[in-house]
Structure 1
Amino acid sequence: MAQMDFQLYDDAGVIFSPRDKSLLRNSLPILKAENKLGYIQFWGKIEGVVNDYYIVKGWDEYIGPARFFYSTNCADWAQVPEVDPQVDELCKYEQGLFIGDPTVKTKFRDLMKLTKKQPTGEEGEEPIEPPEEEEGKEEEAEEGAEEEDGEEKPKKVQKPLKYYTEDKRLAVAIKHIERHCQSVPIGYLYLNSTHHIKRNKTWKGLSELESLKLSSYLHQRMPQSPFIRQKLEVKGLSDPFGFLDPLVEDKPAGCWSLQYNGFVNLVQLRSLLFPGYQLFLRPNGRTSVESGSDDEDDEFGGSAWGQVYIGKGLMNVDFPFELPSVPIEQTFPHLLDDILKDNEAERKKKEAEEAERKRLEEEALREAEEEQEEEQM
């Protein structure tokens, strides 16, 4: 089984301590065997105030359900719980920092209630709220009336939870980062004739020019576009490499940053919506940093691409206000071929201007000589 290529992480700016490297090398194969996972990958790290959460992702199918595990010491792993819909609804835009203790309880902050207008007395006074004791008495009176009537009334809807543990919020953060950010280079996965998604063993990586195009990267998730999803679900329709959503269609335009580091020959794709996520790729490389049954023989001499999240697990809710007020077509970065075309056009323009200048100088010189000859005659 291929080991993690820490050199590739180092080139991408993700540094592990010698202790973390040793523990990850030893614990990930054990975690994969104990949980009978087809593939396993270091997903990232969510930073906390007291401790950091190290996250590992395990899966059997590339586009399908995945299991996540967290640890604060890279040795003892626990499975991330399922996403609670109520926690998901109220915590997906939460901007508070993680503590680092999965058992810590936090009180819900319902932002909709905080912004809702409340009846007030005179101007400048705080909203009038009924005391809690009176509410309790009213509920007791209603229950007593029901018992006296002897009639069965429909049960009340269960009250919403007031507190949640941090491991449930951790599950929400992982879900949204996974949905918005997780990506793969085009051609790395393919859809076979039986509509199963497999890793393309003949994939030769991306060239320097292709790696600098945002259209060369796809979301590693179930397609959101109905036209693309149709290729994946309808039998008889098969597009081997066009069955995933491309990143170039993400809204708002400009939510991805694509850069090339020439010192280490590495292309880095970063998300501006979730700062901390990056996909790093070495042009003309072939393998990935994931460990699984397809990667038992690392015959290409080292990993060529990977992805990781190192951050606080928070969405950048101010991102739409940080975009420049320019037309959409001007928010896309200039690709290398566009830059070369612009340089070639500028060079030809300068050559034409220089030729025109020389022609005018020759004509002026010729006219001056003719005038001199006329004067002499």
Structure 2
Amino acid sequence: MESEGLHLNIDYVGSSGVVLSPEQKAALQTSLVILQNENKFHKVYFWGKIVGVKEDYFVAQGFDKDEFAGRKTFYSKDCIHWGLLPPATKMMRDQSKLAKGRFTGDPSYEYEHVETKKVGEGEDATEEEETLTIKEEDRLASVITEIDEDVRIVPRAAFIKTPTGQVISNRSFEGLSVSEAAKLCNYFHFREPQLISEQSILQRASLDKAIDFMDSVEEDIPRGSWSLQFERGSGLVTLRSLLWQGYIFCHVPGQRKFGSVYFGTGEKNLDLPFML
């Protein structure tokens, strides 16, 4: 959710239990402007909050003009002071999946994972234990990246891809109509396309390459992982992810207003295929 007008726009997702206190709103409104100016970002988004056992992490992201490139992620525990998270490498993400349980709220906390390895062959084989330490700061960066890849979405035509390959905000976007907003095919994953099936390639070949360059959430597996609802009559549409419970996207049909936040524990709902 864009930092500009955050204190007003955050109320769109209030029905889902996403609430910030007046003090937190005021602190974010000021500190995110400072964060943007200090780092010379084109835009700063309030990403959401990951709830910890002792303390919570408030998360923000800064972008250059090309919103597919140059993304930096920051975290704060008081909505005022921000720390830069390291980029999530593949090894970091693989190791972070071994850490179980809730976040503690301490970035320097280390999880321990014990692996048993077999050494030798036959009767001479022995088992050795190897302890792997995972820093919570690395796990936080990995989980945020995974949530962005899995469920961060935008309305169709809200962004365009220029002939040079840059992804920028579409100034001509005036919002989805009420009938368009009711269809999952009009919401795209805000990342590079990953679906490479023959059917998706043929479908994309006949579409507008400047607009339809991302994957539609309609093709997500498992089917039914999104809950779409209208609120305030047809004045607001919300999409909630059942895969990452706590992620919510909202859009005002007929207007440029849209955004998303994540308020949760940072744990993926791995049981979803059995629940549908």
Mapped pair 1:47 → 2:51: yes
Q: What is the distance in 2 between the residues matched to 1:100 and 1:208?
A: 41
> 2:183 is matched with which residue?
213
Matching residue of 2:96: 91
- Percent of aligned positions with the same letter in both sequences? 35
1:315-358 CA distance string (max 9 Å, x none): 101111101xxxxxxxxxxxxxxxxxxxxxxxxxxxxxxxxxxx
Equivalent in 191, 214, 228 of residue 161 of structure 2: 191
Q: Which has the higher helix share?
A: 1
What pairs with 1:38-117 in structure 2 (closer than 5 Å)? 38-60=42-64, 61-92=66-97, 94-110=99-115
Q: Are residues 1:26 and 2:3 paired?
A: no
Greater CA radius of gyration, 1 or 2?
1
CA deviation map 1:287-310 (0-9, x unaligned): xxxxxxxxxxxxxxxxx2111100
Q: For each residue in 1:56-96, what CA deviation from the matched residue of structure 2 results, as whole angstroms up to 9, or x when unmatched?
A: 01111222241100011011100111224344213337540
Q: Is the contact made by 2:248 and 2:262 (CA closer than 8 Å) also made in structure 1?
A: yes
How far off is 1:11 after superposition? 2.9
1:305 aligns with 2:248: no
Judging changes above 3 Å, is the alpha-carbon distance between structure 1 residues 94 and 214 closer, same or farther for their aligned structure 2 residues?
A: farther
Query: TM-score under structure 1 normalisation?
Result: 0.64
Distance 1:285 1:93, change over 3 A: farther
For structure 1, which runs of at least 5 residues remain unmatched after alignment? 117-127, 133-159, 287-303, 324-377
Change (3 A) 1:267 1:93: farther
Secondary structure of the structure 2 residue equivalent to 1:167 = helix
Asked if 2 retains the 8 angstrom alpha-carbon contact of 1:108 and 1:163, the reply is: yes
Match of 1:175 in 2: 145
The alignment status of 1:10 with 2:14, answered yes or no, reads: no
Deviation at 1:5, TM superposition (A): 3.5
> Quick check: 1:231–1:243 contact (8 Å CA) kept in 2?
no
Contiguous gaps of at least 5 residues in structure 2: 119-124
Q: Is the 8 A contact 2:226 2:242 kept in 1?
A: yes
Q: Say which structure, 1 or 2, has more relative contact order (CA 8 Å, 6+ apart).
A: 1
Q: CA deviation at 1:311?
A: 0.3
Question: CA 1:49 to 1:255, structure 2 compared with 1: closer, same or farther past 3 Å?
Answer: same
Instruction: State how far apart, in whole Å, the 1-side matches of 2:161 and 2:9 are.
Output: 28
| C-alpha displacement of 1:129 | 6.8
2-structure distance, mates of 1:261, 1:238: 31
Mapping of residues 1-377 of structure 1, within 5 Å = 3-13=4-14, 14-60=18-64, 61-92=66-97, 94-110=99-115, 162-226=132-196, 239-262=209-232, 265-286=235-256, 304-323=257-276
| CA–CA separation in structure 2 for the residues paired with 1:79 and 1:204 | 34
Q: What CA distance in whole angstroms lies between the structure 1 residues aligned with 2:57 and 2:83?
A: 11
Does the Cα contact within 8 Å between 1:40 and 1:57 map onto a contact in 2? Answer: yes
CA contact (8 A) 1:181 1:219 kept: yes
Structure having the higher strand fraction is 2
> Against the structure 1 CA distance between its residues 243 and 93, is the aligned structure 2 distance closer, same or farther, given a 3 Å change threshold?
farther
The number of equivalent residue pairs is: 262
